[in-house]
Structures are given as C-alpha cells and as structure tokens.
Amino acid sequence: MKKIIALLLTLTMLMTVCVTGSADGQNENTYGAYKHVFIIGIDGAGTFFEKDYMTEFHRIFDNGTVKYGARTETKTDSGPNWTSILTGVSYFKHGAENGVVSGTQERVFKKYPSIFSVVHDAMPDAELASIVNWGAVNIGIVEDEIGVTEISIGPDDATVEAIVNYFNEGHSPALFFTQLDEVDAAGHGFGSSSAEYEKAMKEADERIGIIYDCLEENGLLEDGLFIVTADHGHKETGGHGRFSKLESYSTIAVAGKTVVSGGSMDNDVKLRDIAAISLYALGVEPTEWSFTARVPGNLFKDVSGQARPYYRDITDFICGGIMWIYTNLGHPLDEFF
Ligand SMILES: [Zn+2]
C-alpha cells in the first residue's frame, strides 16, 4: 500500500512539474502575448518595400516576417482595403468605396465593426488611437463613439510629428493605426516606375524608422507587435483600382517577440488578415460573423496557419478566386472594360 501511495505521490509531483512547465511555456504563446499592436499603413506602396533602398524597413524586419504577395481586396482602392484591414471583412460584404469611407460611417459599421470597436468591447479601458493623413479613415472606418484618439492631419511630416508627440506624451495604446499618403500621391502623379515615386518611398521609409524608434524609446516594443502594410500598389504609369499584379499585390511585414525570424508566411495571405493577426496578438476574439481574416502560418513561432472561413463569404471565395486567376494570367481583358 505504501508503495502505491509513494507511486501516486511521485506521479502527482511529476504531473505538477509538467503542468508548471507548460504554464511557463505559455509565456511564449502568441495569443494575448502583446499589449500593443501598431499598424503603419503606407498608401499606394504595394510591394515596393522590397527595394534595397528601403533601409529602415529592412533594418526593422530583417528579424521579422514579411509577405510581399499579400492579396488586396478585389477593388484596389484605399476605401475598400483600409476598411478590410481594419474589419477583417471582405469588400464584397462591406462595399466601402472611397466615397462611402469619406462620407459617413453609417453604411459600414452599423454592420461590420472595426477592430478598434472589437478591442474596445473586450478591453473598455484600453487606449486606442488612429492618426492619419487621409482623414476619411477617421470618418468612415474608425467609430467615433468608442473613445479612439482620432487625429487627421497632413502632410505626412505633420502626421508623423503628431504621432511622435502622442507617444512622447506617454500614451500606451492597445491598438494604433496610421496611414501616410504621399507615396500614393507620387504614384498618381508620376507612376510607380518614376524617380518621384522612389523618392516618396524613401521618405516613407525614413518615417517608418522615426515611428519605430519613437516606440522603442518609449518602451512600447517589448510587448508590441509592429506591422507595416499598404492598401494597394500602383501601375508603372500610375493609378490603381484594377487587378494587375502591381495594383493587387501588397505587403504585410510583422515584427514582435513571437514572430518567426526571417519568415515569409504561407500562401493565401490577404491584407484583411491584419485584422486577425492584431486581434490574436491582443488575445481578443473577433465578433463579426462575416469575419474572413485568418492568422497565416509561418508568421508566429507557435501558431500554425488558421483555415480561412470561406463558408461565411462565398462571393469572396468565388470572385476572389476568379480575380486571382485573372491577375496571374496577365489581366488580358483590362483593355476592354
Ligand atoms: Zn490612390
């Protein structure tokens, strides 16, 4: 009998050690491991972050994970894509054209809450901030009634100055978003193959570095997830809205303590997945049934890729698939419609 008791005691001790061990291991788990998520949006930059001249970007993300083939929504404009990035819902559901976003938030968010709203519901005391150049984001995407610090100010230097001031004042937001606009302006004015566009990208690169260093100096990166992205790219001759590769592939770059070093994510990565990545890192569940963002694989060390719940959005599944084929066939019908 004593032997059995001794054996049971030993087993109990072993189990305790195992459980304690795994509990310690949870500190390495990504879900809820971050106190802050910072999303830096460079409007119109597409996949041009890849260029060697983006030295600040590469400095920050050399030890992070970068996807240069992240798919935009099927309309490659700012309204549709910033809305999907900040809701996790497809353009087919929210229908937020530029005009809708810059006009009113009634149509979109009565139905599809932004991740600001989802985080606010889960953590009512959390600070939230959206400091943007394109003010439409703060009109039509970020809800006004949930206490988000909303600042709309340009040009980009002024946006960055407002951001630096905000963080140097000691703010510590759970979720932060910014959108810088001047790369898009250079794309429209001169095309993505122009020297002007390259100059604007280099300036955006410096601004990314300034924001990153400011966060680091304020101690916010230790438990912070730092994300850089773009809503769409630009044709060589300028402009966007269609389905060419330059317009409809973009970038998601992620740096943080549980991010795979030198990773590149799995396939089927969409810009709207930033919504899933952000909520997951903060330990918040999405609440909208139409949410079709997912955490990609080979992004976080401890998370294998989630399946995209396409059954929630069959239109996106079918039309997104057709557009993917169309893009990769070389968009043969662009001349005709
Ligand atoms: Zn544009």
Instruction: Give the Å distance between the CA of 130 and the centre of ligand 1.
Output: 20
Say how many Å lie between the CA of residue 79 and the centre of ligand 1.
10
- The more confident residue out of 227 and 8 is 227
Distance between CA atoms of 122 and 136, rounded to whole angstroms?
25
Is residue 12 within 8 Å of 200, Cβ to Cβ?
Answer: no
Q: How far does residue 233's CA lie from ligand 1's centre (Å)?
A: 9
List residues, by chain if needed, whose CB lies under 5 Å from ion ligand 1. 184
State the alpha helices, DSSP H only, in the chain. Answer: 2-25, 55-61, 78-87, 91-94, 98-103, 106-109, 115-122, 136, 156-168, 182-190, 195-217, 245-248, 273-282, 314-328
pLDDT of residue 52: 98
**Can you tell me the distance from the alpha carbon of 248 to that of 197, in angstroms, rounded to the nearest whole number?**
18
Distance (Å) from CA 77 to ligand 1 centroid: 6
Q: How confident is the model at residue 110 (pLDDT cuts 50, 70, 90)?
A: low
**Residue where the block lists tokens 């909303």:** 150
Could you give the C-alpha distances from 12 to 2, 4, 18, in angstroms and in order? 15, 12, 10
Tell me how far the alpha carbon of residue 236 lies from the centroid of ligand 1, in angstroms. Answer: 13
| C-alpha of 298 from chain center | 16
Ligand 1 midpoint to CA 314 (Å): 28
Mean pLDDT, range 60-70, rounded to an integer: 97
Over residues 21-36, the pLDDT tens digits come to 333 334 469 999 999 9
**End-to-end CA gap in the chain:** 85
Would you state the structure tokens that stand for residue 21, as one six-digit string? 């061990």
Q: Ligand 1 center to residue 207 CA distance, Å? A: 19
Rounded-to-integer distance, Cα 53 and Cα 81, Å: 26
For residue 11, the model assigns a pLDDT of 45
CA–centroid distance, residue 315 to ligand 1 (Å): 25
How far, in Å, is the centroid of ligand 1 from the Cα of 208?
A: 20
85-105 tens-digit pLDDT? 999 999 999 988 887 788 765
If you measure from the C-alpha of residue 243 to the centroid of ligand 1, how many angstroms do you get, rounded to a whole number? 14
Q: How far is the CA of 8 from the centre of ligand 1 (A)?
A: 68
Say if residue 303's pLDDT is above 80.
Answer: yes
Length of the chain: 337
Task: DSSP for 63-129, please give it.
Answer: TSEEEEEEE--SS-SHHHHHHHHHH---HHHH---HHHHHH-SHHHHTTS--HHHHHHHH-TT--EE
Residue 238's SS3 state is: coil
Record the pTM.
0.90
Mean model confidence pLDDT for the chain: 90
Angle at 54 between CA 128 and CA 116, to 5 degrees: 15
CA 273–ligand 1 middle distance (angstroms): 21
- Centre of ligand 1 to C-alpha 239, Å, is 6
For 283-294, the pLDDT digits (tens) are 999 999 999 999
Band (18; pLDDT cuts 50, 70, 90): very low
Is domain 31-328 annotated with CATH 3.40.720.10? yes
Q: How confident is the model at residue 119 (pLDDT cuts 50, 70, 90)?
A: very high
- On the question of a cis peptide bond just before residue 286, with omega within 30 degrees of 0, the verdict is no
